[in-house]
Structure 1
Amino acid sequence: MYASRQRTDNELRASQTFDAQSRHNAYLPPRRHLTGKGYNEYQYPYLLRNLEVTHVNQVWEIDITYIPMQKGFMYLTAIIDVYSRYIVGWGLSNSLDATESLSVVKKAVNTYGAPEIINSDQGVQFSCKQYVGYLKGEGIRISMDGKGRCLDNIYIERFWRTLKYQYIYLHVKTDEIAPLIPKLN
């Protein structure tokens, strides 16, 4: 009895909401597609399947995570060398801007040389024209995870887990995160 009554109440609430919206022309705008037009043009296949990584600078993985702070959060972009498990580049930003990801890659390439392959997820930052153009200009092959496949980028995801659970969540109570990154290498 209760389940059928609850369903009826929910259906009633939904119909009342739709009626009120139609009376006031108050509809939600269509959901924005953040990837923009031509997104498929910058999607690349996953090149790491069955690939044996045998040397440094063969494969790098890049990703972005959010870091909780006292007042909000910031975004940390990091690049890990798959063979050595060494963080070759990182940057902390208050926005998810593609320019931060690109500057992290440029600094890492200037410091360690260009990798053969760089793997990322299909995020907007990694599929924008400037990012893809820079990688192609450096002769770096682009690999992208499948949609919803975080295990394709497992080394950087494992780094995020270590960073957050062993350092951030336990010890950091200030906005000082930069000194922690070199300690993890």
Structure 2
Amino acid sequence: MELSREIKDAYFDAKGRNGSPRLAKDLQASGVNVSRTTVARHMRNMGLRSKLSKKFRVTTDASHNYNVAPNLLNREFNQKEPMRACVSDITYICCKDGFLYLTCVIDLFDRKLIGWSISDNLTASGTVIPAIRMANRNRPFKEGMIFHSDRGIQYACKQTVNLLQYHRVEQSMSGKGNCWDNAVAESFFKSFKTELIYGTKLKTKEQMCLDVFEYIESWYNHKRRFSALGNLTIDEFWKQYNIKKQLIKNVA
């Protein structure tokens, strides 16, 4: 009975976003000795399910006459150091009073959303530019860092190209019509819509902006577990990284 309550509390604390593997990791991190299969069994008994995903849809428009950057990233999604490569993309959010557009910038080292913007228009100045500027404030760009995106006009336009060149960043773009070249950014949007939007009532733009902030800054960047990080949260992954870095420094 006690375990069922702890599983139920962890499930609702994550707002139904976690399935049994991540719930088990959360419980283990808080000192509860429980396996994934046990959590799954209790979830079935209580009728608890994680939110289901839906097919991702492309938002950016690649029909333009701007130059297209080569694919420098080449699907090297696992980076060993921070700020060696970032990926970015844009998605739409349907609201009661129209559409919003969310832009993300993700550091491939730890999958952290280091920059983002939410806008009611698809101009570069409303989407990509503020997201890039936030990313640079949170984690200053390194010279030669790869910034990867699709071929959308917001990324290919002079305003974005000039900003990235100013920071001495190498721009990279996916192959034509190849969503797998930007799989990490698309995976984020799939998780975002599954965990925050699908299965809920339409919200106003104002309420959605608040919910997006909470999802990114409270949940995704600090509490969500990632299979790419060994089912650690970003904070836990950074703690391990800094410990290893200090050990190497001490040995040297």
Which category describes the TM-score, using the shorter chain as reference length? Answer: 0.7 to 0.9
Is 1:139 aligned with 2:198?
Answer: no
Distance 1:152 1:172 in 2: 33
Q: Deviations over 1:27-74 (max 9, x none)?
A: xxxxxx9524xx2xx211101226462111111101000011122221
Q: Deviations over 1:62-112 (max 9, x none)?
A: 100001112222100111111101000111100000112112101211221
Which of 75, 98, 112 is 1:86 aligned to? 112
Q: Percent identity?
A: 32
Which aligned runs of 4 or more in structure 1 are off by greater than 3 angstroms? none
Q: Which moved more, 1:156-165 or 1:170-179?
A: 170-179
Equivalent residue runs for 1:15-164 within 5 Å: 35-36=64-65, 39=66, 42-49=67-74, 51=76, 53-100=79-126, 101-115=128-142, 116-164=145-193
Residues 96 and 50 of structure 1: is their aligned pair in 2 closer, same or farther, counting only changes over 3 Å?
closer
Is 1:181 aligned with 2:231?
Answer: no
Task: Write the letter of the residue equivalent to 2:72.
Answer: L
Q: Which moved more, 1:82-91 or 1:68-77?
A: 68-77
Greater length-normalized contact order (CA 8 Å, ≥ 6 residues apart): 1
SS, match of residue 64 in structure 2: coil
SS, match of residue 167 in structure 1: helix
Distance 2:84 2:159 in 1: 22
Task: Write the letter of the residue equivalent to 1:62.
Answer: S
Q: Which has the larger radius of gyration?
A: 1
Which residue is equivalent to 2:196? 167
Unaligned runs of 5+ in 1: 1-32
Q: Deviations over 1:109-143 (max 9, x none)?
A: 12210151100000000001111011011110000
State the 1:172 CA deviation: 5.8
State the 1:169 CA deviation: 1.2
Report the TM-score, using the length of structure 2 for normalisation.
0.56
Report the TM-score, using the length of structure 1 for normalisation.
0.75
SS, match of residue 114 in structure 1: coil
How many residue pairs match? The answer is 149
State the 1:170 CA deviation: 2.8
